[in-house]
Amino acid sequence: MNTLIQGGRIVDPQTGELRQADIAIAARRIVAIGRANPDFAPDRVIDATGCWVLPGLIDLQARLREPGEEHRHLLESEMAAAAAGGVTSLVCPPDTEPVLDEPALVQMLKMRTEEAHHARLFPLGALTRALEGKALTEMAELTRAGCVGFSQADHPVKDTGVLLRAMQYAHSHGLSVWLQPLDAWLGGGVAASGPLATRMGLAGVPVIAETLGFHRLIELARSTGVRLHLTKISSAATVELLRQAKAEGLPVTADVSIQSLHLTDLDMGYFDSRARLSPPLRQLRDRDALRAALADGTIDALVSDHNPVHHNAKDLPFADAEPGASAIELLLNLALKWAEEDGVPLTRALEVVTAAPARVLGTAVGTLSASLGQLALGGSADVCVFDPAAQWQVSAAALRSQGKSTPFEGMLLQGKVRHTLAAGYVSHDAA
């Protein structure tokens, strides 16, 4: 099918380009930016007047809950939610049921998502079998099945010897490891350590749990030379350590969640389980440091940390509630909200959800690495058409995700995704 996106304003964070132009799409690729060939005959014309035309978003942290909860058809609903948020590529961690530690599971998951045409899925394989932190997985086979890196999700490896061997193996095969900096012995609380958690009687996760985990990972990465991506960092202290590691030239990248970027522990309110998250929400100084680090490039990417939690798992006392929130439909809006509040250029706000995560993925995505996260002539037609004048309020009814729990419920957001095209297919159409 030939598609013409007409009359929109192109905003390409990779090139900094902002201009009025049409985009012509044929055979799932962008064949013209500006004026299409007179012989181009579109089967469909999308009127983008008044809208921004952006590269499709890349979310480096989103759970689909499959395999594990097929009876709820979550794969279909969450991929549709991704498309509604303008996301055309997403990375899922391996903590499914069963864990993504077998090539057949990875192949099945990729096949099902490709059939739906909603968004492109890049799974992370388990670093250790069943995420138990004991035996390494067959990383080479998992890579051939489609994994773009290796992770322990929220399950830190306790045995440093195992972690060292995993990093040595990954480095020798040119693979990357994606790990959350967290000490296994200090990270078991339900809220950020501080005066509020103490008053509420909640078990805390101290900042040192993250910084100890950071030091351990960085020293192992320095020793092995492995490419290390740090997921969901949450504290000002870690930001400073990350800045030093990058200045040293270590091959390390990092992301932060939209929850840690916008909220603090005060948003827990009176034991509001919607704010039960992992990592927990920290104090205002941490939030401000994360926002500044994302603006100056110390933190590379912004992620949704989407995790659709059933209401039964949230309708519990705070400490017993399952951590997680629905967020993938809010990623673009909350990136723009951060930019507006902090005076960050529009191109940087878009870069952290498009070109920057594409750089984190690098060559692990094969030939897509040449065009992912940008609007490139001849590149894959991953496009988001966004109406900056529209407004909407976050509510359970407004979300496509089956996970209706979000600490952003009730927030009024500026702008709305009108169309999403994933590899040329119209995966979302709100017109």
Cα(57)–Cα(89) distance, integer angstroms:
7
Cα(100)–Cα(142) distance, integer angstroms:
9
Q: Name the residue with tokens 């200090």.
A: 186
* Residue in 12, 255, 305, 382 annotated catalytic: 305
CA distances (Å), 104 to each of 76, 111, 152, 175, in order? 20, 10, 19, 20
330 token code pair: 């809010």
Cα(428)–Cα(86) distance, integer angstroms:
8
**Which residues are within 8 A (CB) of 58 and not within 5 positions of it... i.e. 6 or more apart?**
87, 88, 89, 90, 91, 301, 353, 354, 357, 358, 361, 372, 373
Rg (CA), the chain: 21
Cα(124)–Cα(107) distance, integer angstroms:
12
Neighbours of 249 (CB within 10 A): 7
Cα(62)–Cα(308) distance, integer angstroms:
9
Q: Where does residue 342 fall: left (phi above 0), alpha (psi -120 to 50 degrees), or beta otherwise? A: alpha
Beta-strand relationship, 412-422 and 383-393: antiparallel
Cα(232)–Cα(235) distance, integer angstroms:
10
Cα(65)–Cα(4) distance, integer angstroms:
35
Q: Would you give the DSSP letter of residue 402? A: S
Q: Is 305 a catalytic residue?
A: yes
Task: Say whether 281 sits in a helix, a strand or coil.
Answer: coil
Q: Give the bridge partners for 155, in sequence order.
A: none
Which helix or strand (DSSP H or E) is residue 407 part of?
A: none
Name the H helices within 5-159.
74-84, 103-116, 139-145
* Catalytic residue positions, numbered: 305
